[in-house]
Structure 1
Amino acid sequence: MTTAKNTAVLTALSLFAWVMLLWLMLMTSIQTASAFSLQRLDIQRGAQTHDSMVVLDARPQAQYLAGHIPGAFSFSWEDYTRPDSYGVNYRIFPVAELCSALGAYGISAQSTVLIYGDADTSWGGEGWLAWLFAYLGHQGPVYLLDGGIQAWQAARLPVVTTPPATVEAVSYTADLQQQLAISAQQIAARQDQITLVDTRNYWLEWFPGHLPQAVHLDWKEFYQGDTKSPLDGDALRQLLASKGIDVSKPVVYYCTGGIRSGYCWMVHELSGLPSAINFEGGTEEWDAYRKTP
C-alpha cells in the first residue's frame, strides 16, 4: 500500500514538474516574441539621429552605389539568399552566415538599427530585412525610415556613393523566432487554421496558379504616395477588411520567395495587429513540396 502511495506521489510530482516546465517555456516564448521592436522613423528624426544607429540600405547594389545615406551599409536580399539543397530559390542564408554578416557591420543583437529602401527596385526588400531581424530574435530597436530614400532625397538631404569605413566586427547571437516563419508542409496541415494572402501580381502570377484558399492582395497596395510610405494601421485594417481577410486567424503572407510578402509582413507588424507570418519559401517552396513523392 505504501509503495502504491509513493508511486502516486511521484507520478503527481512528475506531472506537476512537466506542467511547470511547459508553462515556463510558453512564458519565455511569449516574452521573446514580444521583445522585437519595429517602429517608423520620420525623415526629420532620421536626419537627426541616423548617426547614432547602424544604417542598412535594403536596395540592390547598383542603386546603393549610385547614391545612399552617408554611413549606410548595403544589405540587399539579393546578396543574402540563394537556392537551398533542394533547389528552392531565394532561401535565406544559414543563420550562422547571417550572424557573421551582421557582425561584420558592427551589429550585435542589441544594436539600434535603421532600415530603408525604396519599396520598388528591391521588391520591398526593406520589409524582408525587417522580418529577418524579427526572425533572428533581434533585441535592439529596429526603425524603418518612413518614405525611404525618396523622402530623404525629397528633403534635400545628402547622399554619397562611397561605402562607409570598415568597422570593428562584433558577435551577433540569434534567438530564432520560429513562430514568424512557416513551411509548405505546415501550411498544408494548417490551412483551415490560417489566413493565406498571396501578394504577387494578379494576372501574371496569381491567376495562373496560387495556394489553395489564398486571398489575393498585391503587395503594392501596402504603400501609398510618391514616397511609397507604408500604410498606417487604420488604412491597413480597411484594406484587409475590403478583401475579406480574416485577421482572427494567423495571417500568412506569401509571394515567390518571401521578399514582397516580407514587406507586407512589415506593414502588418507596424499596424499593431497580432503578429503575422512570412512564408519565406513562397511558391518556390510550395511547388517543390507538391512535387515531393
Structure 2
Amino acid sequence: MSDTFVSAGWVAERLDDSDVRVVDVRDAWEYDGIGHLPGAVSVPFDEFRSDAGDEGMLPGVDRWRDLLSTAGVGTDDELVAYDDEHGVFAARFLVTAELYGHDPAKLHVLDGDYSAWSRERPTERGAPDTEPTTYEPGEPRRSPLVDFAGVEERLHSDTVIVDTRDPEEYAAGHLPGAVQVDWLELVDADTRGLKPREEVASILADAGITPDREVLLYCNTARRISHTYLVLRHLGYEDVLFYEGSLTEWEARDGATVSE
C-alpha cells in the first residue's frame, strides 16, 4: 500500500521541507477568502482544464509548464494537492502531473480534503512569497492512457471496464460490459477521506475489480476516474488504464453503449 493518500499529520510534518510543495486547487476566491494550508500555492482547477489540450481535457504541455512554473513548483518536488470536494479535483491535478512526467511516487492527495486540515490546524490567507521556477514537463515512465481504439479492443477481453459515475448515469447509458462503482462509494461521508482499506477492497472485489486483472476506468470527462485511479494505485493495483476521452469522446465517435 503506497502513501498516495496522506493524512493532515503527514503533511504537517513536511511543511518546512523545501522539496515539498502543497497545491490548493480550489477556486481562487476560496484560496484567498476562506484560507489555505500554510505555504500552499494556488492552481485553480479551471486553470488546468481545457477542451483543446493534448488529449481530452488535459491542458496542453505549454499551459502546464507555465502554470507550475508560475506557482513555483519544481520538476522534482514532492506534491501534495487538496480541494474541498473529497479529493476529486486534487486527484485530477495529480494525474495530470503524472501524465506530464512527474514521478508518481512524489504525488499525494490530502486525505479528507481541506476540512481535514482546517478542523484542527491553523490556516493562512494571502499567497506566500514564492520564486518562479522553470518546470519541465516530460513523458510518463509508463503511460496509463488508452485511446478509443484501445477501449474497443478490450470490450470483449478479460479487462474489467469500470464506470465511476453515479448509478443514474450508468443506467442511462454505459460501455458494454462495464461494471459500475461510483467513485464516491469509496469515500467516507463523515471524514471526507477514503473508507478503511478493507472496506474499499471489499467494494472493489464485489464488482470484480481485483489486483490480478487489467482495469480500465472511464467517466464523462476524466475527472472522477482520476480519484479512482489514485485509489487503486494507493491499494497497490499495477495494471490500471485511464480512458482520458471517457464517455464524451466515446459517444462523439459513435461508440456503442447500453442502457438499463
Give me the TM-score of the superposition, normalised by structure 2.
Answer: 0.85
Query: How much has 1:187 moved relative to structure 2?
Result: 0.3
Asked which structure has the greater CA Rg, the reply is 1
Please say if residues 234 and 271 of structure 1, whose CA atoms lie closer than 8 Å, have aligned partners that are also in contact.
no
Q: Which amino acid aligns with 1:99?
A: R
Of 21, 25, 48 in structure 2, the residue corresponding to residue 54 of structure 1 is 21
Q: Which amino acid aligns with 1:54?
A: R
Of 20, 41, 45 in structure 1, the residue corresponding to residue 6 of structure 2 is 41
Please give the alpha-carbon distance, in whole angstroms, between the structure 1 residues aligned to 2:115 and 2:239.
Answer: 28
Please give the alpha-carbon distance, in whole angstroms, between the structure 2 residues aligned to 1:145 and 1:210.
Answer: 31
Please give the alpha-carbon distance, in whole angstroms, between the structure 1 residues aligned to 2:158 and 2:3.
Answer: 26
Query: How much has 1:198 moved relative to structure 2?
Result: 0.6
Of 233, 252, 261 in structure 1, the residue corresponding to residue 225 of structure 2 is 261
Please say if residues 185 and 289 of structure 1, whose CA atoms lie closer than 8 Å, have aligned partners that are also in contact.
no
Write out aligned runs for 1:176-187 (5 A). 176-177=140-141, 179-187=143-151
- 4+ residue segments displaced more than 6 Å: none
Moved more, 159-168 or 266-275: 159-168
SS of the residue 2:80 aligns to: strand
Query: How much has 1:164 moved relative to structure 2?
Result: 2.3
Give me the TM-score of the superposition, normalised by structure 1.
Answer: 0.76
**Aligned residue number for residue 258 of structure 2:** none
**Aligned residue number for residue 128 of structure 1:** 92
**Aligned residue number for residue 112 of structure 1:** 78
Write out aligned runs for 1:67-216 (5 A). 67-84=35-52, 91-120=57-86, 124-139=88-103, 141-155=106-120, 157-177=121-141, 179-191=143-155, 192-203=157-168, 205-216=169-180
Please give the alpha-carbon distance, in whole angstroms, between the structure 1 residues aligned to 2:171 and 2:222.
Answer: 19
Please say if residues 107 and 172 of structure 1, whose CA atoms lie closer than 8 Å, have aligned partners that are also in contact.
no
Please give the alpha-carbon distance, in whole angstroms, between the structure 2 residues aligned to 1:231 and 1:119.
Answer: 15
Please give the alpha-carbon distance, in whole angstroms, between the structure 2 residues aligned to 1:127 and 1:275.
Answer: 18
Please give the alpha-carbon distance, in whole angstroms, between the structure 1 residues aligned to 2:196 and 2:134.
Answer: 35
Please say if residues 74 and 133 of structure 2, whose CA atoms lie closer than 8 Å, have aligned partners that are also in contact.
no
Please give the alpha-carbon distance, in whole angstroms, between the structure 2 residues aligned to 1:77 and 1:162.
Answer: 18
Please give the alpha-carbon distance, in whole angstroms, between the structure 1 residues aligned to 2:207 and 2:251.
Answer: 25
Please give the alpha-carbon distance, in whole angstroms, between the structure 2 residues aligned to 1:85 and 1:269.
Answer: 25
SS of the residue 2:253 aligns to: helix
Which string of whole-angstrom CA distances, capped at 9 and with x for unpartnered residues, describes residues 28-67 of structure 1? Answer: xxxxxxxxx8533322231231232211012233433322
Query: How much has 1:232 moved relative to structure 2?
Result: 4.6
Give the gaps of 5 or more residues in structure 1.
1-36
Please give the alpha-carbon distance, in whole angstroms, between the structure 2 residues aligned to 1:244 and 1:190.
Answer: 16
Query: How much has 1:247 moved relative to structure 2?
Result: 4.1
Moved more, 41-50 or 171-180: 171-180
**Aligned residue number for residue 228 of structure 1:** 192
Q: Which amino acid aligns with 2:28?
A: Q
Please give the alpha-carbon distance, in whole angstroms, between the structure 2 residues aligned to 1:282 and 1:145.
Answer: 26
Q: Which has the higher helix share?
A: 1
Evaluate the alpha carbon distance shift between residue 167 and residue 227 of structure 1 in structure 2; reply closer, same or farther with a 3 A threshold.
farther
Evaluate the alpha carbon distance shift between residue 127 and residue 106 of structure 1 in structure 2; reply closer, same or farther with a 3 A threshold.
same
Q: CA RMSD in A?
A: 2.5
Which string of whole-angstrom CA distances, capped at 9 and with x for unpartnered residues, describes residues 194-232 of structure 1? Answer: 2111111111x1111111111111110121152311245
Give the gaps of 5 or more residues in structure 2.
256-260
Please give the alpha-carbon distance, in whole angstroms, between the structure 2 residues aligned to 1:64 and 1:202.
Answer: 33
Please give the alpha-carbon distance, in whole angstroms, between the structure 2 residues aligned to 1:193 and 1:50.
Answer: 44
Please give the alpha-carbon distance, in whole angstroms, between the structure 2 residues aligned to 1:115 and 1:100.
Answer: 18
Please say if residues 221 and 248 of structure 2, whose CA atoms lie closer than 8 Å, have aligned partners that are also in contact.
yes
Evaluate the alpha carbon distance shift between residue 230 and residue 173 of structure 1 in structure 2; reply closer, same or farther with a 3 A threshold.
same
SS of the residue 1:51 aligns to: coil
